Amino acid sequence: MQNQMRERQTAMQIAWTREFLKYFGTFFGLAAVGLTAGYEICFLTENINILHLYFNDDASSCCIIMGTENILDTQSTLLELPKGPLTYEDLEKIRRSQSKFFIQK
C-alpha cells in the first residue's frame, strides 16, 4: 500500500514537472521568437497569458491528473526503486553495518 502511494506521488511529480516544462518551454520559445523579431519581452508577457506556474485553472489540473494516470499505466518503470523494494533483511544489514562502525572507534 505504501509503495503504491509512493509510486502515485512520484508519478504526480513527474506529470507536474512535464506540465511545468511544457509551459516554461513555450514561454521561452515565444520570448526567443519575440527577441529575434525585434519585439520587447515585456510587450509579449503583458499581452499573452501562457505561463501558468500555479495551475489554478481546471484545464492544467486535469492535464496533471491525466499525465499522472498515464505514467502509472504506461511508464511504471520510472517509478521503480533503483535496487528494488527495501526488505527487512536489507534493513538489518544496514543496521548491523552501522552499529559495527560506531562500536569500532
Domain boundaries, the chain: 1-103
Cell numbers that stand for 57 in this block: 485553472
Structure confidence at residue 77 (pLDDT): 84
Which of 53, 60, 50 shows the shortest CA–CA distance to 29? 50
Chain mean pLDDT for the chain = 76
Cell numbers that stand for 66 in this block: 491525466
- Measured in whole angstroms, the distance separating CA 105 from the mean position of its chain's CA atoms is 42
Query: pLDDT > 70: what percent of the chain?
Result: 70
Confidence of residue 66 (pLDDT cuts 50, 70, 90): confident
Q: What is the maximum alpha-carbon separation in the chain?
A: 69
- How far is the C-alpha of 20 from the C-alpha of 16, rounded, in Å? 6
